[in-house]
Amino acid sequence: MRLGVLDVGSNTIHLLVVDARPGSHPDPVRSHKNELRLAELIGPDGTLGEHGRDLLIKAVGDAAEAAREERCDDLVAFATSAVREAADGAEAIEAVRAATGVDLDVLSGEDEAALTFLAVRRWFGWSSGRLLCLDIGGGSLEIACGRDELPDLAISVPLGAGRLTRERLPGDPPSRRDVLALREHVWQVLADVVPEVHAQGPPDRVVATSKTFRSLARLDGAAPYALGPRVPRAVSRRGLEAIVERVMAMHLAERALLPGVSESRAPQLLAGAIVAVEALTAFGVERADICPWAMREGVVLRRLDWLEQT
């Protein structure tokens, strides 16, 4: 079957089209992206408002049309932190449904963490033992750990790279004072969840996913993604510290020229690096393997599992 997965995230409206069947490896066919930056459309009153809803409707409508053009048999659509936190998120979802026919399922942060964990487990397999998974998104950081396909612990904290950039890193480049203050903030937030994670026992493998971690791994010397998803890649705590020091002095235009960093993601690079290095430090980790699969692939796998059972 051909399955479309529509991810309405804080930064991007992303349609992933895959050919898949239960028990098989999902084969990507097309990726359709719209850099809507939905979180930035939320006003001071906490709402998307009419303008934000209209842009969301247009983006989802375009993605739904792309899914039809690709002859998808099924479309699974979901929204994450931006819609989840918007005061008028429910109204926006209803407006999207009325205008496009697409039902957006709003995932909790814990759902995001669990779906990502499922994808990581399937990618690395049972031989990886107990996993600790980290996923930096635009609005939140997801943390999950466990030995099975469902995590024993799934946590979401408001440490997304986009959120922290908007709220805590003004200036181009930001001041060292703001950078140090952000590092302290991230450390304090993580300090609240570290005991829960440590209580699960030491991980056999630490894994990082998401575009942010892939970009950071590239800057830490990992192979270009053009060489394919199966090339082993990792990111180190020492490398992340060096990236923070390097990037914090750069203007935005300079960051966008770095290898593996897109122009649209360049503004969030520093905040993402800070979250990454503080997370590895907080959990006592020296390196993390990069997984090319993340939440969208987890949605595909869960859907295939459901189809196999029906």
Mean pLDDT by 10 residues, the chain (310 residues): 95 95 87 93 96 97 96 96 96 97 96 98 97 97 97 98 96 96 98 97 97 97 94 98 97 96 94 98 98 96 86
Q: What pLDDT is attached to residue 159? A: 98
- CATH number for the domain whose boundaries are 2-106: 3.30.420.40
CATH topology of domain 109-295: Nucleotidyltransferase; domain 5 (3.30.420)
| pLDDT for residue 306 | 87
Ranges of each domain in the chain: 2-106, 109-295
pLDDT on residue 142:
98
Which residues lie below 8 Å from residue 267, measured CB to CB, with a gap of 6+? 165, 252, 255
pLDDT of residue 234: 98
Specify which residues 77 forms β-bridges with: 6
- Do 2-106 and 109-295 show the same overall fold? yes
Q: What is the pLDDT of residue 14?
A: 96
Contact 82, 39 (CB under 8 A): yes
Q: What is the rounded distance in angstroms from the CA atom of residue 298 to the CA atom of residue 150? A: 11
What's the confidence (pLDDT) of residue 131?
A: 98
pLDDT at 18: 96
Joined tokens for residue 237: 């705590």
Amino acid at 218: R
Whether the predicted model's global pTM rises above the 0.75 cut: yes
